[in-house]
Amino acid sequence: MSRFQGFGAVAWREVRTVVRTRSYLLLSVGLLAVFAGTLRAGGGIEGGYIPTAVDLLLPLELLVPLVAVALGYRAFGGENDDRPVLLSYPVSKGSLVAGVYVGRLIGLAGIIGGPLLAVGAAVSRIGGAESRVFATHQGADSPVLFVRFLALTVCFGAVVLAMAMAASVLVRTSRAALAAGLAVLVVVVAGGDLLAFLGLTADAIGEDVLGTVLGASPNSAYRGLVLESVVGVATDQGGAIDVSAAVAGLAGWLVVSLGAVVVGIDREPFAGIRTGIGELTGRVAGALDR
Amino acid sequence: MSDAPVLRIDGVSKSFGTVEALSGVSASIPSGSVVAVIGPNGSGKTTLVRILVGDLRPTAGTVSYEGPDTERPIGYLPQDPTFRSGFSAAETLAFYSSLVEGREPEPLLERVGLAAAADRNVEDLSGGMRQLLGIAQATIGDPPLVVLDEPASGLDPNMSENVFETAAEMAGSGTTVLLSSHDLALVEETADTVLVLNRGGIAASGAIDALREQFDADSLRDVLNEVVGDTSRVAVVGGSR
């Protein structure tokens, strides 16, 4: 059996699932509406690509994890869970995980990338004179920087998608999967920053290592990389984060999460952890119901 | 039917925490036959089936496939098959066929009587039609062993009969069919060999005639009643946690 047999078919099924799910299309339209509202209020679109990226950065820190969790939390649950049948075909666990992940990542790139490309196109028409040229030197606004911003945003989504999928395989019921997905959302959106803030106020983290510590939090790493490699390039205002720590942090979350999915897809490893998480998320879901 | 086993089960036990669902189950599944696993609710049928197809790992013991080398040795219909919404019956089978060098979906749908519903989305199929789609899926790639967990669940009597006839036809063409079922009349008509599970162990096994003779029973139902004893209560193995 080829190690990657079935990968393409599984990935293509995921892409088609995303395309055929109307709520994902609505999500993309909703993102465009939020972007339009944010840019109208912030006025960044008239300033060019960099001001636009700055205006969208904060909303994206919340919206990208939201989209990633929406795509990932039931990747292996409910009607999407045909693992026992799929594994009776010559499909390895690695191919199955890679296929589902890549297929949903393509969907995520479309849902987030589509509205961002529309924003980029709007900037090229509405933005200042500088926004209509491809800058070849630092200190100038450029669509290249906006493409870099878009790529970093999709990378951030890719990491959170892997985390949501890991949560999806650790629980069994749809209700528990939703609670686990929400837990991922809270951890990604607020957890890292909160821990860093608490560490800073308790003097457990010195200011000299703050940039490195922030790299361990997915959304801090994303924010730092955007400020460093998009905004900082044009404004010379970088230095918010240790770039290598941020890249290592995002890569670490991605590898660990996908590793957890590959091991967890077997259903039996993590049985104890899964029971504990199932009970915990069940209680959270119960509390949410009340 | 051939004496050569397609699957050998050797001392298989399975525990879920403190609950022992299966204990020391051994059997060999002869090729080209219909083998039925019967037993009361909670006797361990589905656990055994899931271990045979590799969906669960046994706590002890081994399951070894001894049939011909092929791309897909075991086809599987789970007790509650799930299908992706938004895809038609034909698209669903085409997806699974693409994972092996399988046939086009049309003959598979024809075989289970679903040809007219080829373009209908799976979420619009009735429970029985979904079950038939699952059976068609289980035969993709012509696996030498097809395992069907409660294939007649949710089907009307005619459909149930159709499913068991299909199983018998598959066995006639050399495929081994292992199925679990509560429909003892159809099992009696179709199966060559029966494994009777009770409280996680094989309480009796053999050809139906031999079992009737062994237990001095008129029907398979009487055999089951003799083996299980009190059938009015659900067997709860291993106590409570």
Mean of the per-residue pLDDT values of chain B = 88
Whether residue A210 has pLDDT greater than 80? no
* Cβ within 8 Å of B, A 71-100: 78-91
CA distances from A109 to A14, A18, A74, A239, B225 (A): 13, 11, 18, 28, 59
What is the helix (H) or strand (E) element at residue A94, kind and residue range?
A: helix A93-126
- In chain A, whose CA is at the least distance from the CA of B52? A88
CA distance B134 to chain A (A): 10
CA distance B174 to chain A (A): 19
Interface test with A, best of B18, B57, B98, B135 (most A CBs within 10 A): B98
Exposure of A1 in the CB half-sphere (CA atoms within 13 A):
21
**pLDDT category, A236, cuts 50, 70, 90?**
low
Whether residue A284 has pLDDT greater than 70? no
A-B contacts (CB, under 8 Å)? 64
Highest mean pLDDT among A123-127, A237-241, B147-151: B147-151
- 3-class SS of residue B160: helix
How high is the pLDDT of residue B240?
Answer: 44
Tokens for B49, please give them.
């089936």
Higher pLDDT pick, A207 / B114: B114
Q: Which of A9, A90, A268 sits opposite B95 (nearest CB)?
A: A9
- In chain B, whose CA is at the least distance from the CA of A82? B82
Q: Does B137 touch chain A if contact means CB atoms closer than 8 Å?
A: yes
How high is the pLDDT of residue A152?
Answer: 96
Q: Are B87 and B121 in contact (CB under 8 A)?
A: yes
CB contact under 8 A, A79 and B56: no
**pLDDT category, B235, cuts 50, 70, 90?**
low
How high is the pLDDT of residue B238?
Answer: 52
B34-62 confidence digits (pLDDT tens): 999 999 988 999 999 999 998 899 999 99
Higher pLDDT pick, A178 / B6: B6
Interface test with B, best of A15, A82, A85, A104 (most B CBs within 10 A): A85
Taking the C-alpha atoms of residue A238 and residue A259, their distance in angstroms, rounded to an integer, is 33
Higher pLDDT pick, A263 / A138: A263
Which residue has 């990935």 as its token pair?
A11
Tokens for A282, please give them.
């069940």
Q: Does B86 touch chain A if contact means CB atoms closer than 8 Å?
A: yes
* Structure ipTM over 0.90, yes or no: no
B151-195 confidence digits (pLDDT tens): 988 788 888 888 888 888 888 888 999 999 999 999 999 999 999
How high is the pLDDT of residue B4?
Answer: 81
Q: Does B87 touch chain A if contact means CB atoms closer than 8 Å?
A: yes
Give me the mean pLDDT over the A143-155 stretch. Answer: 93
A2-18 confidence digits (pLDDT tens): 556 789 999 999 999 99
Whether residue A286 has pLDDT greater than 80? no
**pLDDT category, B239, cuts 50, 70, 90?**
very low
- In chain B, whose CA is at the least distance from the CA of A10? B95
How high is the pLDDT of residue A269?
Answer: 46
**pLDDT category, B14, cuts 50, 70, 90?**
very high
CA distance B86 to chain A (A): 6
Q: Which of B71, B76, B82 sits opposite A79 (nearest CB)?
A: B82
* B106 backbone dihedrals φ, ψ, rounded to 5°: -55, -50
CB contact under 8 A, A88 and B53: yes
CB contact under 8 A, B53 and A90: no
* A57 backbone dihedrals φ, ψ, rounded to 5°: -60, -50
Residues of A in contact with B99 (CB under 8 A): 5-6, 9, 86, 89-91
| Per-domain boundaries in chain A | 7-289
How high is the pLDDT of residue B241?
Answer: 42
Residue (of A12, A9, A17, A7) closest to A71 by Cα position: A17
Q: Does B85 touch chain A if contact means CB atoms closer than 8 Å?
A: yes
Give me the mean pLDDT over the A137-155 stretch. Answer: 84
Tokens for B111, please give them.
């075989």
Q: Which of B50, B55, B98 sits opposite A9 (nearest CB)?
A: B98
B64-80: b (≥16 Cβ within 10 Å) or e: ebebeeeebbbbbbbbe
Q: Does B135 touch chain A if contact means CB atoms closer than 8 Å?
A: no
How far out from the chain centre does Cα B76 lie? Answer: 8
Residues of B in contact with A83 (CB under 8 A): 55
Classify the C-alpha dihedral A34-A62-A125-A130 as positive or negative.
positive
Residue (of A85, A197, A110, A199) closest to B130 by Cα position: A85
How would you classify the pairing of strands B145-149 and B176-180?
Answer: parallel
Q: Does A13 touch chain B if contact means CB atoms closer than 8 Å?
A: yes
CA distance A251 to chain B (A): 31
CA distance B212 to chain A (A): 35
CA dihedral A210, A211, A217, A222 (to 10 degrees): 150
Whether residue A167 has pLDDT greater than 90? no
Classify the C-alpha dihedral A253-A254-A256-A258 as positive or negative.
positive
Give me the mean pLDDT over the B198-225 stretch. Answer: 91
CA distance A153 to chain B (A): 29
- In chain A, whose CA is at the least distance from the CA of B137? A85
**pLDDT category, B236, cuts 50, 70, 90?**
low
Q: Does A231 touch chain B if contact means CB atoms closer than 8 Å?
A: no
Contacts of A177 (CB under 8 A, 6+ apart): A73, A74, A77, A78, A167, A168, A171, A281
Higher pLDDT pick, A154 / A144: A154
Q: Are B66 and B17 in contact (CB under 8 A)?
A: no
How high is the pLDDT of residue A263?
Answer: 87
Q: Are A228 and A259 in contact (CB under 8 A)?
A: no
* Cβ within 8 Å of A, B 36-75: 50, 53-57, 71-72, 74-75
